[in-house]
Amino acid sequence: MTLTLAQRKRQLVSNELTEAALQLLAVKGFDAVTVDEIVATAGVSKRTFFRYFASKEDVVVQFLADMGTGIRAELAARPADEPPSVALRHAMAVPLDACTDHPDHAERALRVVRLILGTPALHARFLERRLRWSDDLAAELTVRLRLDATTDLYPDLAAGAALTAFDITLQRWSAGDGSDDPTALIERAFTLLAPALDGHALPV
């Protein structure tokens, strides 16, 4: 879909606000950062901030919502004949690849992951969003594999397993010294999951 000039400008401002907020929150801690600091860092007015976000917590919630949208879009775009484990691994790797495509990005992303997992209010919102991701992935798998959502357990189980692998990857990465490669971690996780994910009797 081609965005209009106005839409591109709005997206640019939203991205700048999100980046400024996440980095300030990650460095100083959630409670220590004010909206005034965020807008000063982003170079916009307070009024502009509230045009996009209801609060500093809402910045993180929107960030997580966008991440979930990207994961589902990647799963939908994978080749139809690709094994489920491969398609899901690629989908789960999308945000991780974006985090580690440059050393500076990896360092900033790791701070954000630690912020979200280490701040009770934000972790709760992450878990809330994760439930929506699970529903979205299960729905996508149902369509992709031509299954019956009312009777087949596979979509929900596969989505849950994929997101558990994602969770463990984030936890291991954030608990370490930063030297781990989260993309390599998710690949290891899916190597273990593949027999179960691909052993299901799928339609021809």
Q: What is the DSSP string of 95-126?
A: HHHHHSSSHHHHHHHHHHHHHHHHSHHHHHHH
Answer yes or no: are the C-beta atoms of 59 and 22 closer than 8 Å: yes
User: Comparing C-alpha atoms, which of 167, 169, 162 is closest to residue 186?
Assistant: 169
- Please give the domain boundaries of the chain with CATH numbers for all domains: 1-53 (1.10.10.60), 56-198 (1.10.357.10)
Asked whether the predicted pLDDT for residue 182 surpasses 80, the reply is yes
Mean pLDDT for the stretch of residues 102-122: 86
**The overall pTM is greater than 0.85:** yes
**Confidence class for position 148, pLDDT limits 50, 70, 90:** very high
Asked whether the predicted pLDDT for residue 1 surpasses 60, the reply is no
- Per-residue pLDDT tens digits for 77-92: 999 999 999 999 999 9
- Per-residue pLDDT tens digits for 47-105: 999 999 999 999 999 999 999 999 999 999 999 999 999 999 999 999 888 777 666 67
Answer yes or no: are the C-beta atoms of 75 and 91 closer than 8 Å: yes
Answer yes or no: are the C-beta atoms of 110 and 178 closer than 8 Å: yes
User: Comparing C-alpha atoms, which of 11, 24, 17 is closest to residue 53?
Assistant: 17
